[in-house]
Amino acid sequence: MPFLYLYLYLHFWRPDMSYIAPLKDMLFNIEHLARIDQIAQIPGFEEAGLETAQAVLEECAKLNQDVISPLNWEGDKNPSFHNGSGVTTTPGFKDAYKQYAEGGWQGLQHPTDFGGQGLPKTIGAACGEMLNSANMAFALCPLLTDGAIEALLTAGSDELKATYLEKLVSGEWTGTMNLTEPQAGSDLAAVRTRAEPQPDGTFKIFGTKIYITYGEHDMADNIVHLVLARVQGAPEGVKGISLFVVPKFLVKADGTLGERNDVHCVSIEHKMGIKASPTAVLQFGDHGGGVGYLVGQENRGLEYMFIMMNAARYAVGVQGIAIAERSYQRAVQYARDRVQSRPVDGSLPGAGPIIHHPDVRRMLMTMRAYTEGCRAMASTAAAAYDASHHHPDAEVRKQNQAFYEFMVPLVKGYSTEMSLEVTSLGVQVHGGMGFIEETGAAQYYRDAKILTIYEGTTAIQANDLVGRKTARDAGQTAKALAGQVAQTEAELMASGHADAQAVAKRLHAAREAFIQVVDFVAGNTKAHPNDVFAGSVPYLMLAGNLMAGWQLGRSLLVALTPEAQAQDAGFMAAKITTARFYADHILSKAPGLRDSIVEGAGSVTAMALEAF
């Protein structure tokens, strides 16, 4: 019987057809947490209300469910490959990318001045989640292009903008980030790629860059590489790094493509996950030097590159949510189908679907609560981004910028770390079948691992949270956020609802733990840095846990209202249950994290180095 089940399962179920976009949850967040009605009052966003959000998300869901998702499994089996002269992507990717670009999806949240649709990030982030759930390896190409667009919008000259932005925004051309070198990982001070000034104002670029996502592919006519390099005579360290545009093909004065530039893919990496995404090693200057164009001012390249990095870090956090959602959907489907053992409460006369077993329910609820909590946190952060960049009131912009900047390392760090737990649970729900590649569960686990590494590891996000976001202002931004959490606690208690009050109790304990850690970080970063940074990642996890739990608390308050109940009572009941589960089983971990950070720092560094 087990072998018959395995045969039927593997031959009649297709892992590539399983994704259904969670539109209800996305629109709930956009309406009630991100407050799209307020965003639509910002000049330029007047047409971007809930009706527009729903229409855009529904169309986006169709493309991702019907066209892009079916390629996910194929990409894992038949990844991109280097054919000596270039890179051939997975069969179907090129056609799917053409549909993506022609549909205007690359330009969704970019300025109308360059052919984009100018929609808020609040809508764009939800579309980004769908794309990454459908096919994370495919989605990396548009993600890197978004970063290149942001950098050129901020620091590019009028000439560079005129030459490159419309083609990038349309998706006709794609973009890359070129930071890492063989000897320089996260330490960009060690960058050696050099830029030699030329009489015509251009530069010749020489060097090697590694880990370049979609550094070479066959889906677009041109690839616009943004490259960190040192101009001859520049200061040592990060202060001497400049940023350059180095296109795959040079662009003529009339905008058409000219000769091939001196930048070539010498190999692509063989990876444990996201196999269909070509991760290239690029060589600049083997044949006289790649032609590069300075972005902004010399020696300010790292500053400009961080614009791309910040956009990418938020987007990678969304990837974590996306892969968790995909894994959750797959696990639920399997748990409904897989018949194994009689339920312990005797609710069925014989063996039944494993979703009846309490521990399977625990795993599924953990997956759901983590995913919904992080999605709510990311949606709220996106709304803050929109207000910080577009609101007419300077003080409102300032407040939202502080909120968004604090949230970015949490969205990136917490959401990606949680995706590892969720996708691991997805394999576990499948039992032995989860270890069989044909079920698809293992692919999500393998794909998720990179998310805690690229665009800044979890430790780098935690360093940012400690140094720039907490110690720098003595914890004032963090405590202001804690004050908002306290307000939600009060509203939950005042509701008189048992689940709401239970969530309020957990929120209160987590908030108190958070404040104590903030005081510890703010008070000891300079005097006792080892003690603080020993607990930097646990601090990030505590902060992310609290922020996600806070948003689920806000969700619960909405779900209790008569208007919400009348709209969709079943959905709202599930919202309440999910928030209660998160509070009881995930938010409840916060006080323990506080103890490990504040009281456990010494044991992290106590071991003699020679004893390892």
The catalytic residues are 455
Both tokens of 69, joined, read: 């998702």
Rounded to whole angstroms, the Cα distance separating 504 from 486 reads 9
Query: Residue 470: which H helix or E strand, with range?
Result: none
Residue 517: helix, strand or coil by DSSP?
helix
Task: Specify whether the CB–CB gap between 105 and 171 falls below 8 A.
Answer: yes
Task: Specify whether the CB–CB gap between 278 and 215 falls below 8 A.
Answer: yes
Find, among 86, 99, 128, the residue nearest to 223 by Cα: 86
Question: What is the CB-side half-sphere exposure of residue 397 using CA atoms within 13 A?
Answer: 7
For 449-458, letters b (16+ CB in 10 Å) and e give bbbbebbbbb
Q: Which residues partner with 215 through β-bridges?
A: none
Residue 335: helix, strand or coil by DSSP?
helix
Both tokens of 513, joined, read: 């733990």
Q: Measured on CA atoms in the order 285, 226, 244, 224, is the torsion positive or negative?
A: positive
Rounded to whole angstroms, the Cα distance separating 404 from 313 reads 12
Q: Where are the beta strands (DSSP E) in 285-439?
A: 290-295
Find, among 501, 538, 443, 377, the residue nearest to 29 by Cα: 377
Both tokens of 437, joined, read: 């590649």
**What one-letter code names the amino acid at 331?**
A
Rounded to whole angstroms, the Cα distance separating 24 from 38 reads 20
Task: Specify whether the CB–CB gap between 238 and 190 falls below 8 A.
Answer: no
Find, among 540, 552, 537, the residue nearest to 582 by Cα: 552
For 182-219, letters b (16+ CB in 10 Å) and e give eebeeebeebebbbeeeeeebbbbbbbbbbbbbbbbeb
Rounded to whole angstroms, the Cα distance separating 85 from 96 reads 23
Rounded to whole angstroms, the Cα distance separating 34 from 27 reads 10
Q: For tokens 């089983």, what's the residue?
A: 585
Task: Specify whether the CB–CB gap between 295 and 160 falls below 8 A.
Answer: yes
Q: Cα separations (Å) of 603 from 58, 606, 607?
A: 51, 5, 7
For 528-558, letters b (16+ CB in 10 Å) and e give eeebbbbbbbbbbbbbbbbbbbbbbbbbbbb
For 334-372, letters b (16+ CB in 10 Å) and e give bbeebeeeebeeeeeeeebbbbbbeebeebbbbbbbbbb
What lies within 8 Å, CB to CB, of 303 at 6+ separation is none
Rounded to whole angstroms, the Cα distance separating 513 from 594 reads 5
Rounded to whole angstroms, the Cα distance separating 533 from 74 reads 42
